[in-house]
Amino acid sequence: MIVRKYLSFHILLLGLTLAFVLVSCKPSVPSKYLSPGEMEDILYDYHLTMAMADNSSDRAVTQRVYLDAVYKKYGITEAEFDSSMVYYTRHIDRLHDIYENLSERLSDEALSLGASASDINIYGAQGTKGDTANIWPGSRAMVLSQQIPYNSSSFSFKADSAFHKGDRLNLEFDAQFLFQSGMRDGIAVIAVKFANDSVASQMLHVSNTQHYVLSVEDRDNLLIKEVRGFFLLGNGSAGDAKSPSMRLLVLQNIRLIRMHVKHDTPEPSKTPFGTADSSSGSQPVHDIPTDKAINRVSEQQGNLQPVH
């Protein structure tokens, strides 16, 4: 009995030691690059200044002045910032963690400046409000780069008993590009499969820093049984794909809003309901079969894989 307890104790001690060693061996950010905490603070001010510059009549000049002020505030050069961004782009999981925190900080900042809670997150995280709910299953923020597999993020889930006939789904997000050069070409797709196995989908191109909305609706009261879609950052031209320049698409405040809509008299429709956010001047949404959309993008960009 004493020997057994002795062995158990030493096995436990060995396990704890190995766990400590594994944690200690986790690679850290090289000292020549900005730390995750420093990058978060700098990117926080970076995004605030970009938002202010967007409202300026001379956007390019204002943006340059504001960025120089950010670099001066943190005592860094633009080259140091760019090299650190290149590092984090190659370690996208670290950059994703930074933007998870940034999303919360920017939302808090908007509230402190007078925005209402409904402007920031009207339905909360997995929250409900009457017949409306935010059912987005993933992170509220993500970062896409042009390196496969980090150029895309997909989602898919089965509808549960909370779905009703006639439901409408709105996929909403805020997009911001961090590009040194090249063509801005992001794609967002949402698709639903109904109880009779028919499919409705919406796709739009993301090319500006603004708010976007895609919508699909069960107008014929068939009942949605599956939801899927993806976000993709395209490679642009052949020259862009080979360029080492930084190209990132940051998506924040991602929500998938399900609304129970009552249709008194179901009317067959050739295309599902779909809109882009008209207030932001986004490009029109196109009604296309999901499989064709995914195949078309796959042929151009390679196999779609989720961001980790």
Are both 43 and 102 inside the same structural domain? yes
Residue 308 domain flag? no
User: Looking at the structure, do residues 55 and 153 belong to the same domain, yes or no?
Assistant: no
**Are 138 and 109 found together in one domain?**
no
pLDDT mean over 33-59: 86
Query: Is residue 296 domain-resident?
Result: no
Write down the pLDDT at residue 254: 94
Residues 103 and 162 in one domain: no
Question: What is the arithmetic mean of pLDDT over 123-133?
Answer: 59
208 and 168 in one domain? yes
Do 186 and 67 sit in the same domain of this protein? no
299 contacts: CB under 8 Å, gap ≥ 6:
none
> End-to-end alpha-carbon separation of the chain, Å?
47
Q: Has residue 292 got a pLDDT over 80?
A: no
Which pLDDT belongs to residue 115?
A: 52
Report whether the peptide linkage leading into residue 266 is cis, meaning its omega lies within 30 degrees of zero: no
Q: How confident is the model at residue 18 (pLDDT cuts 50, 70, 90)?
A: very low
Confidence of residue 79 (pLDDT cuts 50, 70, 90): very high
Question: Within a domain: residue 88?
Answer: yes
H-helix or E-strand spanning residue 252: strand 247-259
Q: Is 204 among the domain residues?
A: yes
| Residue 303 within a domain | no
Same domain, 250 and 167: yes
| 79 within a domain of the structure (yes/no) | yes
Residue 96 pLDDT > 90:
no
Lowest-pLDDT range, 103-107, 170-174, 229-233?
Answer: 103-107
pLDDT, the chain, mean: 76
**286 part of a folded domain:** no
CATH number at residue 136: 2.60.120.680
Which of 4-13, 187-196, 261-270 reaches the highest mean pLDDT?
A: 187-196
The residue segments making up the domain with residue 195 are: 132-237+244-260
pLDDT of 28 over the 90 cut: no
Q: List the structure tokens of 219.
A: 């107008």
Same domain, 207 and 137: yes
Report phi then psi at 275, rounded to 5: -140, 155
C-alpha distances in Å from residue 22, one per residue of 26, 129, 137, 171, 204: 7, 45, 31, 40, 44
pTM of the model: 0.67
User: What pLDDT is recorded for position 278?
Assistant: 36
Domain co-membership, 100 together with 191? no
**169 shares its domain with 207:** yes
pLDDT over threshold 70, residue 266: no
Q: Would you place residue 24 in the very low, low, confident or very high pLDDT band (cuts 50, 70, 90)?
A: very low
- Give 40's pLDDT tier (boundaries 50, 70, 90): very high
- Residue 160, pLDDT score: 95
- Per the structure block, which two tokens stand in for 259? 């609304």
Q: Is residue 193 part of a domain?
A: yes
pLDDT in tens, 140-157: 888 898 888 889 999 999
Mind listing the pLDDT tens digit for each residue in 197-241? 999 999 999 998 889 999 999 999 999 999 999 999 987 655 555
250 and 170 co-located in one domain = yes
Report the pLDDT averaged over residues 261-270: 60
pLDDT score for 261: 87
**Same-domain check for residues 139 and 40:** no
Domain count within the chain: 2
